Structure 1
């Protein structure tokens, strides 16, 4: 952003650029009226003919975040237009996205993964339980912000949608191919784009888990040599090509994650109990 535009809307002092994607870029800014920090998303449209689609994306993101309340969803505070650009003022979440965590520090431990994915699935379950359900469609490590206290936030709802049972197929292919379900883009086996639903998000739960545990992109196979059998089973079920063969709710994923946690605790406690009883 140019220096002469460091203060936008007469009140937001831009401090730094903190992210950029296909739909826009995000700045950290301070409100000169109340001193608080906010994340401000500036929507980008390189082609004037894309303006209607841009407005649709903005409305979609607003509709998702404005009327929802959950610990993993950021709050929004303002929407304005300046110099023919749209700006969305959102809650600023201090932390680092999980792609950066893995790329710089290595794969997450199983304990870290459980904490993160239980929160992710809880947030998705909230969205999926709304009427009509909201399908996120862009779950991936770079859209999960981890704060110092271990809490997470999901960001970038520009391609989220309210599920419409009457639609036969989505109008556009949306998502990040590295993590998105086959039905969001179609595949080489003849599966075309269709009316994506909550099971598309569940597929992305699996691909995201795989990346966080291995530092690698999911390639259609779960190598049990890279991850434990219990996590491999969850990832495999999340990422079935046919949606009807996946988990049908993130609650079911949470239940299996909790079983993994209990199994980990038993493995830690068993040697201690064995040592104590041997002394007795």
Structure 2
């Protein structure tokens, strides 16, 4: 078993355990040469069940060799395989994000439009696998094997039971797959698995995502999706039903064919078709009534504006007086629906999301569903920069995506906020109070977004001094603003300690003086010790920072001892 802090093959430093299976563990590791994080999959060769262990080992080696031949943005890369006497280490891309099964467990059924976009991405990567020579059949599509990255894109993981298609085979030699998701032909004696097998598994995965009902649990049956939610699309229902036909001949015959159907799912929706017919019937009536409505509309528009303003203000007041978070959110959303290009309701909604110190994925979906359709119009407002600044800050400090017991998501939060601070700089003047802070947030976020690429390309020299100056500038701005809450201070102190731990040598090579880095270290250390905390979350954050102090100080000593 790898030990935290140990170095594998002279270059991969084990940082922490991030996952485990029956005979394998996955660690987060740092490549000390490239300063890049990798995932290290450890498979032990010793086991009480020797025959079972041999299968796992051979499967792991086959999986690694299979992935090494592939090149697709939705697939992980294998960069190294280290075979030792008692263990195998497979070095692969570290994928930051959450598996879709955890998202379903936490938030339930996902929005239909989002599931369709995910389905298209999965169709594309499966079609890539199927069009290799020979074809590769994935055979284990399910939410647990799909990672959602912070940028919204998906990664397909775990190729343990993938196989190359052999035309001469009449049937698979081994029955493999996850019960509930696997196609009938995966269970032996029912034919060889082929691309249509993955179509079936993907159909079941879409069923789970859009309904929230796990096919591996009771009632163990795939009902039409509108049985669970009548508001879902009839077109999507027909697509999923076709994907999950027991006979492969009755399914879509390729993922390319399925992708086309997904691109046109509304056209096979029975409601959609009825609407098209209804439009033709109504056209004549509408034309005849248009003249009458024109006069009424001019008068009515003035009255509507007056009514809208009254209703908007009423919902804002109701939201401010509401005692429950759900009530506040509902009132602010109603206000936004009335005036979608006014700032006030958005600001109230953001404050509500921030009050519990966690901006969840579900809350993000609520906010973005309201903002995105009107973003172009919002950007034309004089006060749009105020809104963009608050959105950037809620991502920077409170975004919950990717955070768990084993992994902090600070870098994810910074990356997610960059676009909003970009907007602040583009839509405000340098005279605004927050302009300087937004510029620093944007610069720090961009550094963390790009640094790994520059390290790999050996073009990172010169990037660390500006980053250090940004950190000092942000510390100065936050320390002089008495209105900033404790979590803002603590997140900044944590980022500073992390940066010293990680980049002390780089800071030195870029010209940061030892006296300078030690002065900032002492300031952050003392400020953390003296900062009063009022919640369990901030107390935990404070303890985490205090636990980093010795490591950060040792990093300074090691960097400047020569």
Q: Which TM-score band (shorter chain)?
A: 0.7 to 0.9
Listed as ranges, the matches of 1:78-93 within 5 Å are 78-93=80-95
Higher RCO (C-alpha under 8 Å, 6+ residues apart) = 1
2:252 is paired with a residue whose SS is: coil
> Residue 555 of structure 2 aligns with which residue?
none
Does structure 1 residue 250 correspond to structure 2 residue 255?
yes
- Structure in which a larger fraction of residues adopt helix: 2
State how far apart, in whole Å, the 2-side matches of 1:117 and 1:253 are: 9
State how far apart, in whole Å, the 2-side matches of 1:178 and 1:20 are: 23
> Residue 240 of structure 2 aligns with which residue?
235
Structure 2 CA distance for partners of 1:22 and 1:2, relative to 1, 3 Å: closer
Structure 1 residue 83, shift from structure 2 partner: 4.8
1:122 is paired with a residue whose SS is: helix
Structure 1 residue 118, shift from structure 2 partner: 0.5
Structure 2's unaligned 5+ residue stretches are 216-220, 277-285, 298-562
State how far apart, in whole Å, the 2-side matches of 1:228 and 1:258 are: 13
Structure 1 residue 4, shift from structure 2 partner: 6.5
Contact 1:174 1:185 in 2 (8 A): yes
> Residue 121 of structure 1 aligns with which residue?
123
1:183 is paired with a residue whose SS is: helix
> Residue 26 of structure 2 aligns with which residue?
26
State how far apart, in whole Å, the 2-side matches of 1:194 and 1:15 are: 45
> Residue 146 of structure 2 aligns with which residue?
144
Does structure 1 residue 156 correspond to structure 2 residue 127?
no
State how far apart, in whole Å, the 1-side matches of 2:114 and 2:4 are: 43
State how far apart, in whole Å, the 2-side matches of 1:141 and 1:246 are: 21
State how far apart, in whole Å, the 2-side matches of 1:78 and 1:116 are: 30
Structure 1 residue 71, shift from structure 2 partner: 1.4
> Residue 189 of structure 1 aligns with which residue?
none
2:192 is paired with a residue whose SS is: coil
State how far apart, in whole Å, the 2-side matches of 1:249 and 1:174 are: 21
1:3 is paired with a residue whose SS is: coil
Structure 2 CA distance for partners of 1:100 and 1:239, relative to 1, 3 Å: same
Structure 2 CA distance for partners of 1:244 and 1:263, relative to 1, 3 Å: closer
State how far apart, in whole Å, the 2-side matches of 1:44 and 1:136 are: 24
Contact 1:39 1:91 in 2 (8 A): yes
Structure 2 CA distance for partners of 1:115 and 1:67, relative to 1, 3 Å: same
Structure exhibiting the larger radius of gyration computed from Cα positions? 2
Structure 1 residue 59, shift from structure 2 partner: 3.5
State how far apart, in whole Å, the 2-side matches of 1:87 and 1:193 are: 36
**Partner of residue 170 from structure 1, selected from 169, 172, 192:** 172
- 1:153-187 Cα offsets, whole Å, 9 max, x none, are 0001111100111122222211111211112125x
> Residue 10 of structure 1 aligns with which residue?
10
**Partner of residue 205 from structure 1, selected from 198, 202, 205:** 202
2:226 is paired with a residue whose SS is: coil
State how far apart, in whole Å, the 1-side matches of 2:180 and 2:8 are: 35
Structure 1 residue 97, shift from structure 2 partner: 0.7
So what's the TM-score if we normalise by structure 2?
Answer: 0.44
Structure 2 CA distance for partners of 1:252 and 1:141, relative to 1, 3 Å: same
Listed as ranges, the matches of 1:49-64 within 5 Å are 49-64=51-66
Contact 1:127 1:135 in 2 (8 A): yes
Structure 1 residue 68, shift from structure 2 partner: 1.3
Structure 1 residue 56, shift from structure 2 partner: 3.1
- Structure in which a larger fraction of residues adopt strand: 1
> Residue 75 of structure 2 aligns with which residue?
73
**CA-based RMSD:** 2.7
Contact 2:3 2:14 in 1 (8 A): no
> Residue 182 of structure 2 aligns with which residue?
180
**Partner of residue 97 from structure 2, selected from 77, 95, 98:** 95
So what's the TM-score if we normalise by structure 1?
Answer: 0.86
State how far apart, in whole Å, the 2-side matches of 1:44 and 1:229 are: 49
Contact 1:60 1:159 in 2 (8 A): no
> Residue 265 of structure 2 aligns with which residue?
260
State how far apart, in whole Å, the 2-side matches of 1:87 and 1:29 are: 12
Structure 2 CA distance for partners of 1:23 and 1:70, relative to 1, 3 Å: farther
1:26 is paired with a residue whose SS is: strand
Structure 1's unaligned 5+ residue stretches are 187-191
